[in-house]
Amino acid sequence: MAEEIIVVQGTGTLKGEVRVSGAKNSALKLIAAALLGQGRCVLHNVPQISDIDVMSNVLRRLGATVERQDHTLVVDTAAVDSYETPYELVSKMRASISVLGPLIGRFGRAHVAMPGGCQIGARKIDMHLLGLEKLGVHFDVKHGDLVAVAENGLHGAYITLDFPSVGATENLLMASVVAEGETTIDNAAREPEIVDLCNMLNEMGANVVGGGSSTITVQGVPLNTMHPCEHTTVGDRIEAGTFLAGGALTGGPLTVKGIDPSFLRMAIVKLESLGCQVDTAADSITVSRTEPLRATDIQTLPHPGFPTDLQAQFMLLTSLAQGNSVITENVFENRFMFAAELMRMGADITIDDHHALVCGVSALQGAPVSSTDLRAGAALVLAGIVAEGETVVRGLEHIDRGYENYVGKLAALGASLERKTIG
């Protein structure tokens, strides 16, 4: 069967300027939020990636029309008449669960297939459900579907999350904006994508205060006062961090544009500890390095801590640093599969539960490797750019989920790589 691969030559070159796309993790939820507008939402700066295609299909299945013009997505939810999202779509992308909150908000009910297991841990949805129950939703599981009903409508509540879950915060936001009365989400996630969602909901007529802090307060408004809006997605901090890791590996200088540097404060701190120079402007970040990479310890945490979605890219950096680094993964279980692939390229890594001891080596060797998830895939291509010889990366469907034109952008930065179909 034909398969696509990326063949990378280890030239060690990556420098210049690159513009990041809109944030995948924001755009996916903004599309779901459009369900509450009951009309034609215009979303700008939407990345051209396969996860967005899946979310567009989820909305189409509900009865919406979704049209793309370049990086603008027009989502018309006026004719949505279904509240069912089947397993065939949810199993393709866990983020499909983001329609749960807005569907309950719009119809008082939803049938959404339970997301299955995932390669990066159990990824439960208990916090989504517990919070929604506080808002008046009753859940049953029937034949693998989550059947949600708010028999007496949604009402405001004080919800304290066990952990600042991004997805739970978003689902609770999208339901509570149309609940009767006041909702407080305590220990809320503080990611920039949450702020983007709060901003869009307010542009649609909601009354949300505190997005980006640990306590979000929502004054519910009637559903019929919510309206569509035109909104521009924030830049993708993870794509930006991935290119910055690339610039740190080669020495750059490499500038990422279209990103607010405040989204990446902890990643910038870690680049500096690794021995890089980082300069920021209003909408861009530049990394360069003249000294050898230095070992540094990293632990992933909810924002504003170090993002789990940059863990693989920074593990790659530490694998070539002088000295030993400890990387601790606190957000997801089983998120060290990347280490095994990197070890095939000569990295020296020992995993102990959610800690990785990375002993820096002087060089990596090109090898055939496979993406185990989206971020690991992106990091393996970067590894190939600095490895000795040729690297062949498989499993491109992972990279295509979240990186728009990854090969093209890296080639424009001077990397020597090509995407090929084999078999």
Q: Which residues are catalytic?
A: 118
Q: Does 175 bind ligand UD1 (CB under 6 A)?
A: no
Q: Which residue's C-beta sits nearest to ligand UD1?
A: 167
Query: What residues between 238 and 267 interact with ligand UD1 by CB under 6 A?
Result: none
Q: Does 25 bind ligand UD1 (CB under 6 A)?
A: yes
Q: Name the one range near ligand UD1 by CB under 6 A: 69-77, 105-113, 124-132, 261-269.
A: 124-132
**Calpha distance 285→300 (Å, rounded):** 21
Applying CB under 6 A, among 32, 36, 125, 413 the residue interacting with ligand UD1 is 125
Q: Does 168 bind ligand UD1 (CB under 6 A)?
A: yes
Residue 205 Rama label (left phi>0; alpha psi -120 to 50; beta): left
Rg (CA), the chain: 21
Q: Name the one range near ligand UD1 by CB under 6 A: 163-171, 209-217, 321-329, 393-401.
A: 163-171
The answer to whether the beta carbons of residues 367 and 345 sit under 8 Å apart is: yes
Q: Does 163 bind ligand UD1 (CB under 6 A)?
A: yes
**Calpha distance 179→222 (Å, rounded):** 8
Q: Does 233 bind ligand UD1 (CB under 6 A)?
A: no
Q: How many residues bind ligand UD1 (CB under 6 A)?
A: 21
Q: Is 287 helix (H, G, I), strand (E, B) or coil?
A: strand
Q: Does 141 bind ligand UD1 (CB under 6 A)?
A: no
Applying CB under 6 A, among 14, 90, 95, 380 the residue interacting with ligand UD1 is 95
With 0-12 / 13-18 / 19 or more C-beta atoms within 10 angstroms meaning exposed / middle / buried, residue 116 is: exposed
Applying CB under 6 A, among 5, 18, 20, 28 the residue interacting with ligand UD1 is 28
Cα dihedral: 281, 285, 286, 288 (round 10): 130
Q: Provide the b/e sequence for 263-289 (b: ≥16 CB within 10 Å).
A: bbebbbebbeebbbebeeeeebbbbbb
Nearer to ligand UD1, 241 or 384 (CB): 241
Nearer to ligand UD1, 25 or 176 (CB): 25
Q: Does 165 bind ligand UD1 (CB under 6 A)?
A: yes
CA 314-331-255 angle, to 5 degrees, is 30
Q: Name the one range near ligand UD1 by CB under 6 A: 61-69, 72-80, 117-125, 359-367.
A: 117-125
Q: Does 123 bind ligand UD1 (CB under 6 A)?
A: yes
Contact residues for 294 (Cβ-Cβ < 8 A; gap 6+): 273, 274, 275, 321, 322, 323
- The least distance separating ligand UD1 from the CB of residue 358, rounded to whole angstroms, comes to 20
**Calpha distance 153→242 (Å, rounded):** 43
What residues does 112 pair with on adjacent strands? 85, 146
**Calpha distance 26→330 (Å, rounded):** 22
Q: Does 89 bind ligand UD1 (CB under 6 A)?
A: no
Q: Which residue has the tokens 């002993």?
A: 359
- The least distance separating ligand UD1 from the CB of residue 87, rounded to whole angstroms, comes to 18
Applying CB under 6 A, among 59, 331, 410, 415 the residue interacting with ligand UD1 is 331
Q: Does 401 bind ligand UD1 (CB under 6 A)?
A: no
Q: Which residue has the tokens 């459900």?
A: 129
Q: Does 122 bind ligand UD1 (CB under 6 A)?
A: yes
The answer to whether the beta carbons of residues 249 and 317 sit under 8 Å apart is: yes
- The least distance separating ligand UD1 from the CB of residue 307, rounded to whole angstroms, comes to 6
Handedness of CA 385, 391, 395, 397 (dihedral sign): positive
Q: Does 138 bind ligand UD1 (CB under 6 A)?
A: no
Q: Does 127 bind ligand UD1 (CB under 6 A)?
A: yes
Applying CB under 6 A, among 124, 279, 322, 412 the residue interacting with ligand UD1 is 124
Q: State the residues that interact with ligand UD1 by CB under 6 A.
A: 25, 28, 95, 121-128, 163, 165-168, 189, 308-309, 331-332
